[in-house]
Amino acid sequence: MSRSQEVLDEEFIRLSSKTLGISESRLSGMLKRRVVQKVSGFFPDHYRFDKGIAGLETGTTLFKTDTGIETVRGFPKIQRAMMLKPSIAAHFEGVPAVVVEEKMNGYNVRITSIQGKVVALTRGGLICPYTSEKVSEDVGEHFFNDHPDLVLCGEMVGPDNPYVPKDIYPEVNSISFFIFDVRHKNSGEPLTMREKHELCEGYTIKTVPYFGEYSLDEAADSITGIIRELGHRGREGVVIKDPEMKLPAIKYTCSQSTNSDLRYAFGFYNDYGRDFFFSRVVREGFQSVEWNEDEDTLRDRYCRLGESILKPMVSTIRKRERGERITENVQIRVRNLETAQKFEEHLRRMGIDAQFDEPQLVDGQYLIVIRKFNQSTNDRTSATLNGQLW
Amino acid sequence: MSRSQEVLDEEFIRLSSKTLGISESRLSGMLKRRVVQKVSGFFPDHYRFDKGIAGLETGTTLFKTDTGIETVRGFPKIQRAMMLKPSIAAHFEGVPAVVVEEKMNGYNVRITSIQGKVVALTRGGLICPYTSEKVSEDVGEHFFNDHPDLVLCGEMVGPDNPYVPKDIYPEVNSISFFIFDVRHKNSGEPLTMREKHELCEGYTIKTVPYFGEYSLDEAADSITGIIRELGHRGREGVVIKDPEMKLPAIKYTCSQSTNSDLRYAFGFYNDYGRDFFFSRVVREGFQSVEWNEDEDTLRDRYCRLGESILKPMVSTIRKRERGERITENVQIRVRNLETAQKFEEHLRRMGIDAQFDEPQLVDGQYLIVIRKFNQSTNDRTSATLNGQLW
């Protein structure tokens, strides 16, 4: 570590200790254990929490500005209802009504402005150069000139999503940002639902689809209807919130989305975690029980689940048998090739092995296909086809 | 630790160090870290390897006898072929032919005689008092009087299996022992296939069904035929061996058995490991590719897999919804109630929470139903039904 880096760390520790109320020695230990990591490149050095600790969420990011430390809190993990009715009753006890928003399927970003520059943070607290370019177009700097103390939390969705390819939103041609929460810097405190909607309307900032407010008694039945309809349209699910945002939100998803996740992941069966598969299978079981399904409906669910698991795996094995390489293909669309270069560096920093195809000029933007190599699935499949034992 | 136990450990360490060629300090460290554990009760104290280490398999058991230390090596883990043809070609390269035996579905035991007493060891190296009673009936002491230096390795199968309930062998009414390997004490070296068969015939000791010897060229096709036929009969699969037993054996199983495992385990979905599910699903994928299945056959496989996963889970959730407790029911049949008491103690020692029903006298033996409580599945299912979030 160079002399100037050490000085930066020391200054950061001293200032952050005061802001966060964590002792300097503890913060210093976190840096050593890499629970807190320095992020360099594209932007003045900043720090991110790689794990949740000391009441701060994973992905919490700290910036040193001229006036001190600015904290963007990590987006809190939203817990999942497996059984809708009892979960709503238990979780929202004492609240007169809940509001329901669509849970969109893309990637979670937090947007804010640091010393006048708009930055988009990934869930883990890295600045994504691609997303930063995109949201500058969607949100603009005007909002943050008026509200430098706010953080817009939302989902980036569309076919030009470079993390998880999903093309299920006909309303999005490329990639677009939909807000679900507006929160304060430093404290992470959210605005109420009403405040959020009023604010976003004023700046014509898009919010995720809103399904309305429901009394606690009617919520489960109404949401079940919404879920069935969203499922038919291939969309993910809902987030259920306290309108005052005093209780944490909960989420609930469609069977179609669960199956779509499995279909995607089993194409790279050795790269995704065992828990990814297991938790989705269990969701199917509980939903079927809550919906009190008859034999025929259950049988459809069995076949759908089995197909979502086996079909992509068989396809991957056959591809590999033909000598093809298994890649996860995504794409980005940029106005500026420099953004693509920065994004390539960003992926490398995340430890993702990817190859960028030649940019194609489409309607004044560069479309670039990115091939991520799923080494574990490639290697395991080849070895097994060649007779390696398990 | 009492004074006399310490003395025993010291003596054991001194003697075992010589026998195994492991330094006294290393052995002493293994005892402290509980890689090697002392087993007390039912039998003079002995020691078992809880993990494979220093070239000794998991479940290796050491007995101190009047003449020194006798070692019963743990049964080696048999690796699995996922793709039959390339696995046989790669694994048995240079061997002119392989032999094929049925892999029976029960629990693995090693039987030997220690100072004139027949003992049955579980995979982990514990003496099972129930199995010890049973194999004494099946094998008798005569064999071990002639061959005190041998270990009979085989499978206990039948409806009175107290570990994994399986009732797929019409030839077994209660529980019976089928030998697959005969090995030497201490070295663990196996007899050749021919030596094993001659020896077992001489003592009318049952061996697992034998399907014959196949040249390396024809083996994969012949075994595929055997597997299809075994599958139709609901049986597990095969073990493929070098007739000279110089190479380790490999195993290959039927899709029906894979599905049957899943059907069973998903009834206790939160008690079985994630890997248990995942590895079985992957087997289905590779078998389908190797068998080059068409769309219709694949579709059957999808539905079968989905049903094996979801049906038992849904049934468990519904049972719990009705307030029933989820138990894994097994049974034992003993001539002597003392054996049942000892077995109850043995299960407790293994950390299994079980309740023994009242013994019923059937044809001169006591039939006892044992209900094992799958606490994790019970608790998780109840909590989720009551709205606990994931």
Pair A16, A26 in one domain: yes
Closest approach of A380 to chain B, Cα-based (Å): 11
| Residue where a domain stops, chosen among A253, A273, A307 | A253
Q: Give the closest of B80, B314, B388 to A289, CB-based.
A: B314
CATH at residue A60: 3.10.450.740
Does A303 sit within 8 Å of B390, measured CB to CB? no
Closest-CA residue of A relative to B310 is A285
Question: A268 lies in a domain?
Answer: yes
Question: A200 lies in a domain?
Answer: no
Query: What residues are paired with A88 via a beta bridge?
Result: none
Pair B299, B335 in one domain: no
* Angstrom distance (rounded) from CA B207 to CA A371: 54
Report the Cα B98 to chain-centroid distance in Å. Answer: 23
- The answer to whether residues A92 and A98 touch, using CB atoms and an 8 Å cutoff, is yes
The amino acid at A130: Y
| Residue where a domain stops, chosen among B176, B208, B227 | B227
Task: List CB contacts (< 8 A) between A286 and chain B.
Answer: 317, 384
H/E stretch holding B55: none
**Residue whose entry in the numeric block shows the structure tokens 């385990």:** B265
Does A387 sit within 8 Å of B90, measured CB to CB? yes
| Cα angle A22, A27, A28; round to 5 | 150
Mean pLDDT for chain B overall: 94
| Residue where a domain stops, chosen among A226, A253, A280 | A253
pLDDT tens figures, B224-238: 999 999 999 999 999
Average pLDDT over residues A339-350: 93
Closest approach of A273 to chain B, Cα-based (Å): 10
Pair B191, B292 in one domain: no
Do strands A79-80 and A97-103 pair parallel, antiparallel, or not at all (unpaired)?
unpaired
Pair A224, A346 in one domain: no
pLDDT tens figures, A34-83: 999 999 877 888 999 999 998 999 999 999 988 889 999 999 999 999 99
Tokens of A317: 């094995």
Closest approach of A91 to chain B, Cα-based (Å): 8
pLDDT tens figures, A231-285: 999 999 999 999 999 999 999 999 999 999 999 999 999 998 788 899 999 999 9
* Angstrom distance (rounded) from CA B253 to CA B239: 9
Q: What burial class does residue B318 get, using C-beta atoms within 10 Å of its C-beta: 0-12 exposed, 13-18 middle, 19+ buried?
A: middle
- The answer to whether residues B368 and B340 touch, using CB atoms and an 8 Å cutoff, is yes
How many other β-carbons are positioned within 10 Å of the β-carbon of residue B32? 10
Pair A259, A380 in one domain: no
Contacts with A229 (C-beta within 8 Å, 6 or more apart), sequence order: none
B186: left (phi over 0), alpha (psi -120 to 50) or beta: left
**According to DSSP H, which parts of chain A are helical?**
3-20, 24-32, 84-91, 129-138, 142-146, 193-202, 216-232, 255-265, 274-290, 295-321, 337-349, 375-385
In 3-state terms chain A splits into helix, strand, coil percentages (rounded to 5) of 40, 25, 30
Q: Which DSSP string do the residues of A201-225 spell out, in sequence order?
A: HHTT--B--EEEEEEHHHHHHHHHH
Q: How far apart, in Å, are the Cα atoms of B201 and each of A161, A359, B61, B164, B207? A: 68, 74, 28, 29, 9
- The answer to whether residues A256 and A305 touch, using CB atoms and an 8 Å cutoff, is no
The helices-and-strands tally (H runs, E runs) of chain B is 12, 17
* Angstrom distance (rounded) from CA B86 to CA B301: 23
Pair B60, B129 in one domain: no
Closest approach of A280 to chain B, Cα-based (Å): 11
Pair B105, B221 in one domain: yes
CATH at residue B262: 1.20.58.2250
Kindly indicate the confidence band of residue B42, based on its pLDDT and cuts at 50, 70 and 90: confident
* Angstrom distance (rounded) from CA A141 to CA A219: 38
Does B313 sit within 8 Å of A285, measured CB to CB? yes
* Angstrom distance (rounded) from CA B390 to CA B386: 12
Q: Give the closest of A269, A305, A314 to B298, CB-based.
A: A314
Tokens of B60: 């290796």
Question: B241 lies in a domain?
Answer: no
Question: A135 lies in a domain?
Answer: no
Kindly indicate the confidence band of residue A5, based on its pLDDT and cuts at 50, 70 and 90: low
Q: Give the closest of B85, B274, B318 to A274, CB-based.
A: B274
pLDDT tens figures, A294-340: 999 999 999 999 999 999 999 999 999 999 999 999 999 999 999 99
* Angstrom distance (rounded) from CA B381 to CA A230: 27
Query: Would you state the pLDDT for residue B5?
Result: 64
Helix (H, G, I), strand (E, B) or coil at B230: helix
Q: Give the closest of B89, B288, B389 to A310, CB-based.
A: B288
Does B301 sit within 8 Å of A305, measured CB to CB? no
Pair B348, B305 in one domain: no
Examine the pLDDT at B141 and tell me if it is beyond 70.
yes
Considering only CA atoms, which of B148, B139, B71, B151 is closest in space to residue B109? B151
Question: A356 lies in a domain?
Answer: yes
Domain of B351, in residue numbers = 327-385
Kindly indicate the confidence band of residue A4, based on its pLDDT and cuts at 50, 70 and 90: low
Q: What is the dihedral of CA B187, B188, B192, B197, to 10 degrees?
A: 130
Examine the pLDDT at A2 and tell me if it is beyond 60.
no
CATH at residue A221: 3.30.1490.70
Does B302 sit within 8 Å of A307, measured CB to CB? yes
Kindly indicate the confidence band of residue B2, based on its pLDDT and cuts at 50, 70 and 90: low
The total number of structural domains that make up chain B: 4
Pair B312, B343 in one domain: no
Pair A99, A219 in one domain: yes
- The answer to whether residues A159 and A331 touch, using CB atoms and an 8 Å cutoff, is yes
Average pLDDT over residues B284-299: 97
* Angstrom distance (rounded) from CA A269 to CA B278: 9
Does A388 sit within 8 Å of B87, measured CB to CB? yes
Question: A146 lies in a domain?
Answer: no
Pair B133, B180 in one domain: yes
- The answer to whether residues B118 and B105 touch, using CB atoms and an 8 Å cutoff, is no
Considering only CA atoms, which of B205, B195, B210, B209 is closest in space to residue B99? B210
Question: A151 lies in a domain?
Answer: no
Q: Give the closest of B274, B306, B384 to A302, CB-based.
A: B306
How many other β-carbons are positioned within 10 Å of the β-carbon of residue B21? 9
How many other β-carbons are positioned within 10 Å of the β-carbon of residue A276? 15
Closest approach of A279 to chain B, Cα-based (Å): 9
Kindly indicate the confidence band of residue B272, based on its pLDDT and cuts at 50, 70 and 90: confident
Q: What is the ipTM of this complex?
A: 0.91
Considering only CA atoms, which of A60, A64, A57 is closest in space to residue A18? A64
Average pLDDT over residues A335-349: 93
CATH at residue B107: 3.30.470.30
| Cα angle A291, A85, B309; round to 5 | 45
Query: What residues are paired with A36 via a beta bridge?
Result: A49
Question: A299 lies in a domain?
Answer: yes
Pair B187, B101 in one domain: yes
Q: Which DSSP string do the residues of B268-334 spell out, in sequence order?
A: GTTTS-HHHHHHHHHHHHHHHHHTT--HHHHHHHHHHHHHHHHHHHHHHHHHHHTTPPPEEEEEEEE
